[in-house]
Amino acid sequence: MQGLMQDVPLSLTHVFERAERLWRDKEIVTATVGGGRERITYGAWAERTRRLAGVLDDLGISKDGRVGTFAWNSARHLELYFAAPCSGRVLHTLNIRLFPEQVVYVANHAEDEVVFVDRSLLPLLWPLADQLETVKTFVVMDDGADAEIPDDPRIRDYEELLAAASPVADLAIEDENQAAAMCYTSGTTGNPKGVVYSHRSMTLHAMATMLADTFALSERDVVLPVVPQFHANAWGLAHAVAMAGASIVMPGPDLSPKAIATLIEEERVTIAAGVPTIWMGMLPELDGRDLDALRLIICGGSAVPRALSEGYREKTGRPILQAWGMTETSPIGSVATVKSTLVDRSEDELAGLRASVGLISPLVDCRIVESGTIDVLPWDGSAQGELQVRGPWIAAGYYAEERSPVTEDGWLQTGDVATIDPEGYIRIVDRTKDVIKSGGEWISSVELENEIMAHPDVAEAAVIGLPDQKWGERPVACVVAKDGASLSAEDVKQFLNGRVAKWWIPERVELIDEVPKTSVGKFSKKDLRARFEEEAASA
């Protein structure tokens, strides 16, 4: 027997129209280039979004046409987030920090027809214009920067186009599986790959962020996504705010700790989200600030050191809420909330739970398998295997790419090595490509980093494996000392003594000025490895 319920498509048009109707007076705030702030209500934003859909018609963007963005987080970017998919196009957020040849590759591969670019970013994009084979128009969004606007017929002005366009009254998506947006992975190996989200996946994912045991994001929140809108859709938060009717604060180009802390304080932000490097930089900035409104600091994208999470607990009274995910998982896969049945564990054990990536989200399944097979391993907290996931907001394939990330039995291969304990807490041991095999045994670079970063004089630490004649590979720790601290390699080794197995302790500890970062602000072990390999080759 079939259920007798309505089968209404899950689409972003519903999210948009509900926000337009119910939250007219709620605010979207954007920090601008000159240090000012622009404020717009959802009502005015919705009207502009409908006009923007008209602009896409006027520019002749085809059905399914890819609408590129090359922009900071802003209210205008949020207009694009809804105008493109709700009018049947596909939003394609380009990562502004990719190397130029990668931007060219990605825009050509996705076949972007237009790119909306912030004026402050035009000097980065315009030199590539002639190589972007399918882009006919560049629409400049004037964010107050003084970058020169070249005199070229391909360049149009956002506000002028908006003023001339008619608002589109009828936004309807019939097929919930229609593409709504795409994001390319930042391509740590090989070319970036396109993940294509559907209206259905984005709607369900936005709803998942509102669940009480994930972020409990609600209409009462003021949300600051420090995570860029080009990094897995600002982790889904930009859609979630519209669904919930929450106020949103867009940080614009200034992501310095001071600017972010000021926004949190002055806009009374309740939820802020960013990668660990953002929160590491912010910690010293918090002294003396009124952070009373802040209830949730979401952190993910790479391992969150326990010392960082506990540091926030001491300073703000709130630990960081760790989440795990990937561009391929929309991105929320798991969230490290503490089960009510476990709250009476010791402080140390609780800190350990918070330092895990937590419990798999509702509607997503996870398993760990023996590497290279589909042999499922037990949830015993010690068996290590590749983490695999499946669910309605998990990628089933890449855009125009033969290689599939999905196993023959339908699970996404994450490339992360993890353990899962009997309570369901997932711990990421390493990325497959970062694990260190020394004398036939695995060393977790993530765990070593965690321990090193617990040293009070350490600001950042990244551990990589380098070839070793005797052991196959040995860990090398690259450590950045806190400003003004005097720290030696020997201090670090001493500190590790007793905290990790003896054979884990790196013989080589390098004190460096800064850990290189990827385009989305994660530690770039690829760059670190290259640095040491070059050094070895020239020795």
- The set of catalytic residues is 185, 328, 437, 442
Among 30, 69, 414, 438, binds ligand ADP (CB under 6 A): 414
Cα–Cα distance for residue pair 19/50, rounded to 1 Å: 13
Nearer to ligand ADP, 96 or 122 (CB): 96
Size of the site for ligand ADP (CB under 6 A): 22
303 binds ligand ADP (CB under 6 A): yes
Per DSSP bridges, beta strands 179-184 and 90-93 are parallel
Among 68, 300, 385, 405, binds ligand ADP (CB under 6 A): 300
Residue 89, judged by CB atoms within 10 A of its CB (0-12, 13-18, 19+), counts as buried
Stretch that binds ligand ADP, among 322-330, 344-352, 368-376, 456-464 (CB under 6 A): 322-330
76 binds ligand ADP (CB under 6 A): no
To ligand ADP, the closest distance from the beta carbon of 448 in angstroms equals 14
Peptide bond into 331 cis (omega under 30): yes
88 binds ligand ADP (CB under 6 A): no
| CA 503 to each of CA 347, 406, 497: distance values in angstroms, whole numbers, following the listed order | 28, 36, 10
To ligand ADP, the closest distance from the beta carbon of 445 in angstroms equals 11
Q: Pick from 270, 263, 274, 278: which is nearest to 232 by CA?
A: 274
432 binds ligand ADP (CB under 6 A): no
521 binds ligand ADP (CB under 6 A): no
To ligand ADP, the closest distance from the beta carbon of 209 in angstroms equals 15
The number of angstroms, rounded, from the C-alpha of 155 to the middle of its chain's C-alpha atoms is: 30
x/- mask, ligand ADP, residues 343-362, rule CB under 6 A, reads --------------x-----
Q: What are phi and psi of 342, to 5 degrees?
A: -115, 0
Among 324, 411, 495, 504, binds ligand ADP (CB under 6 A): 324
Q: Pick from 168, 200, 162: which is nearest to 181 by CA?
A: 200
What the block records as the tokens of 165 is 């366009």
To ligand ADP, the closest distance from the beta carbon of 297 in angstroms equals 13
* Helix (H), strand (E) at residue 324: strand 320-325
Nearer to ligand ADP, 318 or 431 (CB): 431
Nearer to ligand ADP, 87 or 327 (CB): 327
Cα–Cα distance for residue pair 500/145, rounded to 1 Å: 50
322 binds ligand ADP (CB under 6 A): yes
Nearer to ligand ADP, 110 or 487 (CB): 110
The percent of the chain in helix, strand and coil, each rounded to the nearest 5, is 30, 25, 40
Stretch that binds ligand ADP, among 87-95, 167-175, 294-302, 475-483 (CB under 6 A): 294-302
- Judged by DSSP in three states, 96 sits in coil
449 binds ligand ADP (CB under 6 A): no
Stretch that binds ligand ADP, among 97-105, 172-180, 302-310, 473-481 (CB under 6 A): 302-310
Stretch that binds ligand ADP, among 299-307, 476-484, 495-503, 531-539 (CB under 6 A): 299-307
Residues 445, 475 contacting (CB under 8 angstroms): yes
233 binds ligand ADP (CB under 6 A): no
Stretch that binds ligand ADP, among 19-27, 325-333, 359-367, 481-489 (CB under 6 A): 325-333
HEC assignment per residue over 456-525:
CCEEEEEEEEEEECCCEEEEEEEEEECCCCCCCHHHHHHHHECCECHHHCCCEEEECCCCCECCCCCECH
What the block records as the tokens of 368 is 């760990």
What the block records as the tokens of 103 is 């931007």
Give me the count of residues in the chain: 539
Among 416, 447, 449, 491, binds ligand ADP (CB under 6 A): 416
To ligand ADP, the closest distance from the beta carbon of 436 in angstroms equals 15
x/- mask, ligand ADP, residues 159-188, rule CB under 6 A, reads --------------------------xx-x
Residues 402, 372 contacting (CB under 8 angstroms): no
What the block records as the tokens of 538 is 């020239």
90 binds ligand ADP (CB under 6 A): no
Q: Pick from 439, 528, 522: which is nearest to 97 by CA?
A: 522
Among 93, 327, 388, 450, binds ligand ADP (CB under 6 A): 327
131 binds ligand ADP (CB under 6 A): no
42-58 and 12-22 are packed helices; what angle lies between their axes, rounded to 10 degrees? 140
- Judged by DSSP in three states, 371 sits in coil
Stretch that binds ligand ADP, among 158-166, 408-416, 480-488, 505-513 (CB under 6 A): 408-416
Cα–Cα distance for residue pair 190/97, rounded to 1 Å: 17
Cα–Cα distance for residue pair 97/457, rounded to 1 Å: 30
Interface positions, 213-232, toward ligand ADP (CB under 6 A): 232
Specify the DSSP class assigned to residue 167: P
388 binds ligand ADP (CB under 6 A): no
Q: In this chain, which residue has its C-beta nearest to ligand ADP?
A: 186
To ligand ADP, the closest distance from the beta carbon of 228 in angstroms equals 11
Among 68, 301, 385, 506, binds ligand ADP (CB under 6 A): 301
**Largest alpha-carbon pair distance within the chain?**
73
Cα–Cα distance for residue pair 291/300, rounded to 1 Å: 21
428 binds ligand ADP (CB under 6 A): yes
Cα–Cα distance for residue pair 110/404, rounded to 1 Å: 17
Nearer to ligand ADP, 65 or 405 (CB): 405
Residues within the interface to ligand ADP (CB under 6 A): 185-186, 188, 232, 300-304, 322, 324-327, 357, 414-416, 428, 431, 520, 522
